Amino acid sequence: FHTLSQNRNWNEEISKDGLVKIKSEVVSAKDASGEDIKIIYYIAEITGDITLDNAEKFLRSSENYIYIWENNELSKEIKRINDNEWIIYLFFDSPWPMPDNDLVHRMRVEKDGEKGLRVQATAEPDAYKRTDAGRMTLYDALFDFEYIGNGKTKLILTVTFSPVGNAPKWMINTWFPEGPAGIVKRLIEKATE
């Protein structure tokens, strides 16, 4: 994640409310079969009133991802590998003109003592049966929490994904900065309820 995020031509913005810093880049590319695709990179950073315990408890529950990802209609655990690793299935009811799609994530939790928590989501498209929805094959996310003191925790969400369908770059760019800002704000809000 950090290698990918360091060598980008970042567009840097701040959410309308001033709470979230966002860096993003949308790249046109070709997939393995030669089809045109878009790859979206973003990093969203926020500091909020959330404990590492609340963040961990919230993100360990596969059903909670419907509250943070946009247009996520279904999120469920499909396989438990061990206490810190599992596989989840997500279904997205995307707005027009994008097609509905789904995603399979391998989730991993790693703690760094009392100061840090990392939850990594890596796409594993073949780990669950296919449906009629298009399957996202690239969607990797890293939730990196660092307790900074006085009840405050910094969250840095780093994401690389390629949406199903080939939306125009201008349309994707309209999602920034408020799309990623909404994700991290919803996560903090829901995890502290």
* Residues in Cβ contact with 67 at an 8 Å cutoff, skipping those fewer than 6 apart: 186, 187, 190
Q: pLDDT tens digits for 97-149? A: 778 899 999 999 999 888 999 999 999 999 999 988 999 999 999 999 999 99
Q: What is the pLDDT of residue 2?
A: 42
Q: How many Cβ atoms are within 10 Å of 55's Cβ, its own excluded?
A: 22
Residue 92's pLDDT band (cuts 50, 70, 90) = very high
Residue 33's pLDDT band (cuts 50, 70, 90) = confident
Rounded to 5°, the CA angle 161-105-122 comes to 55
* pTM reported for the whole predicted model: 0.93
> Radius of gyration (Cα) for the chain, nearest Å?
16
* Residues in Cβ contact with 16 at an 8 Å cutoff, skipping those fewer than 6 apart: 177, 178, 181
Residue listed under structure tokens 């502290």: 192
